[in-house]
Structure 1
Amino acid sequence: MTPTPTATLESPTPEPTPTPDDAATPDVPMPTETVEVDTPYNGEVLIITAEQRGAALEVTAMVPGVSEDDGTCTLRVDGVDVASITSTAGNGVTYCGLMSADVASDSAATRFDVQYESSSTRARSADSSVESSQ
């Protein structure tokens, strides 16, 4: 008996089927998580009084919903820090007592805001303006 040659067929190696994760464009870096080191903004400062008499701007303010001692209230005139005081805790509010700053007495209106910062809270008032009473 003569041996009958048999042919062996090798099947090609199948290509892997792409999955949705594989469909991402190669060489695109994945976003990394960033950690913020600043205390996040989490409040609003309300202006209680604002008065300009000649060359002096006097402002008082409060931070509702937060009752803290030892935070810092800063009066900013035209974006420049001009006066800072230490806050006082109240019943459900933080008070920013009288802050006073020298301003141009010939200005028709002085633009200002108040910022508050403590170890747990950052807050800012809306931009405000006050006209000279003289």
Structure 2
Amino acid sequence: MSNTDPVQSAPEQTVTERDTKNAMWRGFCRRCPNCGEGHMFTGFLKVVDRCPVCHENLSGHRADDGPAYLTILIVGHLLAPILIYSFVEFRPDPLLLATIFTVGTVALSLFLLPRLKGLVVGIQWANRMHGFGNAN
């Protein structure tokens, strides 16, 4: 086999590596996974088509139900043990307990949902999944 093999001599496309941890953190902070400066959302959960700062295309994300599932998983695992402990240890009125934990569940869910969606979009961007594979 010679060194002039057309398969080996073709110029290789260089693909820059994307830091997954930084992209996840930037997404969790609801910032662009590329530059970390621009806002990722126009509303509560609507991802912008392009970053207003670096103009990175963010329209190809496929977060779907992943953030909602993660939110339910985290909120349930955090609040269920606290609910059981509170009921067994303090024996509060059931209506008071239900009210407090309903408010806590809704508040924690509303806090986590956009952050976890940003995290999922950041993971997809860093791993060049879906529509993020073409950009460098």
For the aligned pair, the TM-score class normalised by the smaller chain equals: under 0.3
Between structures 1 and 2, the one with greater helix share: 2
The normalised TM-score by structure 2 is 0.27
Q: Which structure has the greater CA radius of gyration?
A: 1
The normalised TM-score by structure 1 is 0.27
